[in-house]
Amino acid sequence: MPPGIRQPPPPWRLVLLLAGVAAYAAAVYWTSRRPSELTVLLAAFPFVWFAGVGAGQALDARQGPSRRTVALLPLVLVLAVLGLSWNHLLANFRLLYLVDHVGVHAGLCWLFGRSLLPARTPLCTEMAGWVHEDMSCPRLLWYTRQVTLVWAVFFGGIASASIMVYAVCAPATWTLFSALLCPLLTGAVFLIENAARSLFLPPKDRVGLTGTWQAVRARLDAQAVARTSGDPQ
């Protein structure tokens, strides 16, 4: 292990996460070809999950009543829409999947892209700081900025391509693209970027897949602590 980089533990959570993503993608593809109420439940799951994460803040007793109400509101609205529009969603489940798919990738594009604005720290540079003791290397700063740009462009391209495929191709083609091809493309870009580090970075500044996963977890954990303590991040 090069000096200056902390040794991360085995990425068991990453393995479980990837297995879960693969299982969800397979379930989406299978149920889309055999529409049922399960199809709508799977399509609605990301909306409920994200709203539920926000609603979790309402459980913190340190939050004031108004902030707890605001935190609960998205979950209440999502559940209300599902309840009132269930039959309509069952007849138009692919549109729900489209909003889900485009929304997630557009959101990721925005997340990476906004960090490239002046006076901001590129997201990949910020994540690299969690595993590198020394971030003063200009090459490392340049590389992490370029990787941030690559991910922003990639996620923006996926969101745009999803809309185009949905508009001009058969429903089965869009389902194949969104549920199976997109996860494979994302994994391929991640592996290519990991391999590219050996070309652009010196050995002391290279972090493998495990280290990258630890960086993401550390950042999310820090943000969660900051939210519950009321400190800005």
Span 128-158, pLDDT tens digits: 777 776 777 788 889 889 999 999 999 999 9
Q: What is the pLDDT of residues 194-233, one digit of tens each?
A: 888 888 877 777 776 676 676 667 666 766 666 556 554 5
| φ, ψ dihedrals at 9, nearest 5° | -75, 170
pLDDT of residue 5: 45
H helices within 56-92, ranges in order?
65-84, 86-91
Distance CA 209, CA 187 (A): 11
Compute CA distances 40 → 48, 51, 92, 95, 171, whole Å. 12, 17, 9, 11, 16
Is this structure's pTM higher than 0.75? no
Say how far residue 141 (Cα) sits from the centre of its chain.
Answer: 23
Nearest partner of 128 among 226, 11, 6, judged by Cα: 6
pLDDT for 110 beyond 60: yes
Least confident of 10-14, 39-43, 91-95: 10-14
